[in-house]
Structure 1
Amino acid sequence: MKRTPELVEEETLDPVDWASLKELGHRMMDDMFDYLQSSRQRPAWKKPTKFALNSMQHPLPQFPQDAAEVYEHFFTQILPYNTENGHPRFWSWVQGGGTPIGMLADMLASGMNTNVSIGDHMPMYVEKQVIEWSKEMMGFPQQAGGILVSGASLANITALVVARNHFNKSIRKKGLQTVNAQMMMYGSAETHNCVIKGVEVIGIGSDNFRKIPVDDQYRIRIDLLKQMICEDREAGHLPFCIVGNAGTVNTGSIDPLEALAAIAKEEQMWFHIDGAFGAIPKILPEFEDRLKGIELADSLSFDFHKWLYVNYEVACVLIRDTNIHREAFATAVNYLVPHERGLSGGPDPFSNYGMELSRGFKALKVWMSIKEHGIQRYQYMIRKNLRQAQYLAGLIQTEPSLELLAEVPLNIICYRFNPGGLEEEELNIINKEILMRLQEQGIAAPSYTLLNGKYAIRAAITNHRSRMDDFDILVEETLRIGKELMT
């Protein structure tokens, strides 16, 4: 380690030797292209070694280290132990695998180092363009608004804040105590946990989110929803928001969105749709009927980094009434007042539409990706994943020792190894072990869930690199490991 030289007034954090850093930068780019190109040759997951973990236990650096040494640490101890969601057999949770153009766009955005919140500069207009494209994809009206955020969690919270504030205009200044009745929200028992967190964050309280039971296809029970709303009104509460699921995280089920929109209109309630991944097939003409109702929502959240394969992290929330959206977040402070001209001119600040004042240039990777590939190519990729889901479901149904645990309305398959003659608890233990061995052996990386108490191996197919034979491998290896555990 070298001691830092005496600092002088003109010192910066830029390199003294730009040529050496350029050379290192080219090596980084080449290494990352090789990493993406060779994804199929690597294990689907690899546990970090003790050496790698210990390398993160060093004390705070006091003196400079050569940039090449820093990169070598990354290349040898961090990169090899990635989550590997770019691998063709990664189907855990709902995570897209990213693209090379998205990686490059992030590099460009980081190089620009712009704050996309306020000011008259092109990144502001790029995000506005992405929002316009998002409205077109989802059938929202031209006068609607929106904003890009990190993920569906923040997108849902943003929408719920707008809904809550719309039903109490004084809440921003005087707080929840100004509400005369307890505000109530409604969604199915399959509603994602990030929505429940959002209910807690905005002060409604999770006890006041009514979890409506689902039918045998894991869709919200409309009759019970109506009943609960009626009971809450009679009890003096204020039902104000219904949350519909366009693709539940467990099974991909789609709530009857059009019926929910009609109930919300009749009851004068806000209708929000969590469409994190399941709203994306809205761009397919053949899904028009199944996703009918998205265009009727007061607000909609969805992720670009899931089923549109954009690199982490970027999501979108659309709000039908942009004035209501602005009223929920806009503030007038003297250091953010827009000017007629100059840097403080330009479009309405994005800080008037969300919590963040500091915002990265997320829109660039979306803008570049959509321009590079075009919607028709995305349509092809989504259809490919849908075909793969049906193919995997078919393989499972033809194997006597495998059991499909739920219908497959979209791209999520829940199944288990079940050779017969075992109790439910035994099956749960065996299938959990199968999942861990699939991952530990680097074969494939599905995830898991519980459906009616049954442990399910869960494959969420939002992977543009997957091929049909990858699903043959998953089934073959599930059977192999299951049979090994039975001997």
Structure 2
Amino acid sequence: MSVDNTTPPDRTAPLAPAGATVPPLEPADWEEFRALGKRIIDDTVDYLAGLRERPVWQPVPDEARAALGRGLPEHPTPMAAVYDEFRSTVMPYPRGNIHPRFWGWVNGSGLPVAAYADLLASVMNCTLGSGENAAMMVEEQVIEWLKQVFDWPAEGSGILTSGCSMGQIVALAAARQAGAGRWDIRHDGAGAAPRLTVYGSTETHHSFEKAVELLGIGTAFFRAIPVDGDFRIDVAALRRAIREDRAAGFHPLCLVGNIGTVNTGAIDPLDELVTVAREEGLWLHLDGAFGAFAYLLPTHRGTLAGMREADSLVFDLHKWFYMPFDVSCVLVRRPGILEETFGSNADYISRTTSGPAAYPVAFSDRGIEQSRRFRALKVWFALKTHGIHAFARSIAGNIDQVAHLTRLVDAAPRLETVSRSDLNVVCFRYVLPDAGTDELNAVNQEILTRLQVGGLAVPSHTIIDGTFVIRVANTNHRTVKDDMDFLVDQVVSIGDELAGNRAGTGA
């Protein structure tokens, strides 16, 4: 998108009228501000209540693109006019993940009560680096609640982050600090230690590779271990890779396991990974970006029991815990390791004997960010409002809806299940008799495009063994089983139309 910069800004005007008494960035009329706020809340509630009647997604039209490409505003515009422009150029064209028929890329659906909490967090405008204030205590409380959710050791620690991409960096840095032994990597750099190696399956999320790169370990030393027929890490191949690296003089550091891979929702054999990590002296890091919250369900707790033995765990609350973006969490088993990894002695944030700077907790010493927004409030608000059992029921409902979808696909003569996880992900495709892989891939891509561009539904896609598949990852608290019926009906209808066109052309 190009931005119009053809008109040079006029900066010769005075910055403020002579004798002005109102700060230039405060509302000039608080009653006008109040009235607009009430209108925004009313419109927001109407918008959320009417989601099902609107397209899931639609392209941004040229006139909205043009408006969003205009240059820097030099002069004020009335608040109500700015809001009206938002309603016409921004609000109608979202990503779509708040809609009941959005199942793409594992995006959370956003709880209404949490949106209110985000507004309140912005009004308070606290930064949660250090210092005594209630916002710091709310984050501490939320972390304690999350430790209880996952039966995490009481002495363990944690921090809320923007997402698991940041969480991977925090956790791997802690693993490096814990495993570097006598080498002072914080002072001397990554080159001070022997060559470190880390291990994960070929299905490991690409954010972990970014963490390996940014921490100076290097992707050449990330061992991508093959997977079995269920897309889980091959433990025998993992053990061989570790032995070979030790024999070659490398220093195996960390093993990452997956609780719900991004492609297929596969869960690595966690108990076996715990055994390997303990026998080999590796830090066990688990990526539970969306799958971790299945631990709330008795049906899945046994499969995920090994999660409690990990050294670190990351999970996104803005995925399968339905929070608005962004809020994620890192939990670590070893107390103090985050402070060892990230703690700072800067004078301006040093602790005093009294006042706000005397507070004993500093989240800025547990991660990379010094400036941190009040992410915890929406989690606190939502858990207080709904209670943990309501979240468990919604998660169980998502799994049941995907099971229903799988049954529909298996019963449809022209559909084929390609992959199905024990969680909330299923990959399937439309099939044509006597069609080759390339033709089937093209047909399914066209089906997906028509679903998305038509605003009917937004699953996403992936490639499994060269096969283009329609991928449903259901982390949507608004979805019901009827939405899955609708999806299958539309896929079959569009596919049959394409098949008819194919027959008409003699293809």
What TM-score do the two structures reach when normalised by structure 1? 0.98
Deviation at 1:4, TM superposition (A): 6.9
Q: Distance in 2 between matches of 1:447 and 1:246?
A: 20
In structure 2, give the amino acid aligned to 1:391.
Answer: H
Q: 3-state DSSP class of the match of 2:459?
A: strand
> Which of 104, 124, 127 is the matching residue for 1:112?
124
> Which of 184, 187, 191 is the matching residue for 2:200?
187
> Which of 157, 178, 191 is the matching residue for 1:177?
191
1:58 equivalent to 2:58? Answer: no
> Which of 364, 368, 371 is the matching residue for 1:355?
368
Q: Distance in 1 between matches of 2:366 and 2:228?
A: 37
> Which of 469, 476, 481 is the matching residue for 2:489?
476
How many correspondences in the alignment?
486
**What residue is the counterpart of 2:103 in the other structure?**
91
For structure 1, which runs of at least 5 residues remain unmatched after alignment? Answer: none
Q: Distance in 2 between matches of 1:110 and 1:87?
A: 25
Deviation at 1:164, TM superposition (A): 1.2
1:403 equivalent to 2:423? Answer: no
Q: Distance in 1 between matches of 2:114 and 2:391?
A: 14
**What residue is the counterpart of 2:17 in the other structure?**
6
Q: Deviations over 1:405-427 (max 9, x none)?
A: 01331100100111221110111
Q: Distance in 2 between matches of 1:427 and 1:348?
A: 57
1:147 equivalent to 2:162? Answer: no
Q: 3-state DSSP class of the match of 2:476?
A: coil
**Alpha-carbon contact 2:22-2:28 (below 8 Å) kept:** no
What TM-score do the two structures reach when normalised by structure 2? 0.94
Q: 3-state DSSP class of the match of 1:79?
A: coil
Q: How does 1:370-385 map to 2 (within 5 A)?
A: 370-385=383-398
**What residue is the counterpart of 1:388 in the other structure?**
401
For structure 2, which runs of at least 5 residues remain unmatched after alignment? Answer: 1-9, 502-507
In structure 2, give the amino acid aligned to 1:389.
Answer: V
**What residue is the counterpart of 2:145 in the other structure?**
133
**What residue is the counterpart of 1:427 in the other structure?**
440
In structure 1, give the amino acid aligned to 2:86.
Answer: F
Q: Distance in 2 between matches of 1:277 and 1:478?
A: 26
1:369 equivalent to 2:382? Answer: yes
Q: How does 1:275-314 map to 2 (within 5 A)?
A: 275-314=288-327
Q: 3-state DSSP class of the match of 2:429?
A: strand
**Alpha-carbon contact 1:156-1:301 (below 8 Å) kept:** yes
**What residue is the counterpart of 1:37 in the other structure?**
49
**Alpha-carbon contact 2:161-2:329 (below 8 Å) kept:** yes
Taking structure 1 as reference, are residues 125 and 31 closer, same or farther at Cα in structure 2, changes over 3 Å only? same
Q: Distance in 1 between matches of 2:294 and 2:358?
A: 38
Q: Distance in 1 between matches of 2:403 and 2:70?
A: 48
- Deviation above 4 Å: which 4+ runs of structure 1? 1-5, 7-11
1:273 equivalent to 2:286? Answer: yes
Deviation at 1:286, TM superposition (A): 2.2
**Alpha-carbon contact 1:188-1:212 (below 8 Å) kept:** yes
**What residue is the counterpart of 1:258 in the other structure?**
271
Q: Distance in 2 between matches of 1:376 and 1:3?
A: 58
> Which of 11, 23, 27 is the matching residue for 1:15?
27
Q: Deviations over 1:298-347 (max 9, x none)?
A: 00000111111111110000011121121000011110011221121223
Q: Distance in 1 between matches of 2:281 and 2:18?
A: 65
Deviation at 1:167, TM superposition (A): 2.0
> Which of 206, 212, 215 is the matching residue for 1:199?
212
In structure 2, give the amino acid aligned to 1:204.
Answer: I
In structure 2, give the amino acid aligned to 1:6.
Answer: P
**Alpha-carbon contact 1:4-1:63 (below 8 Å) kept:** no
Sequence identity percentage: 43
**What residue is the counterpart of 2:92 in the other structure?**
80
1:337 equivalent to 2:368? Answer: no
In structure 1, give the amino acid aligned to 2:192.
Answer: T
Deviation at 1:139, TM superposition (A): 1.5
1:25 equivalent to 2:21? Answer: no
**What residue is the counterpart of 2:6 in the other structure?**
none
Taking structure 1 as reference, are residues 460 and 8 closer, same or farther at Cα in structure 2, changes over 3 Å only? farther
Q: Distance in 2 between matches of 1:347 and 1:46?
A: 49
Q: Distance in 2 between matches of 1:192 and 1:30?
A: 40
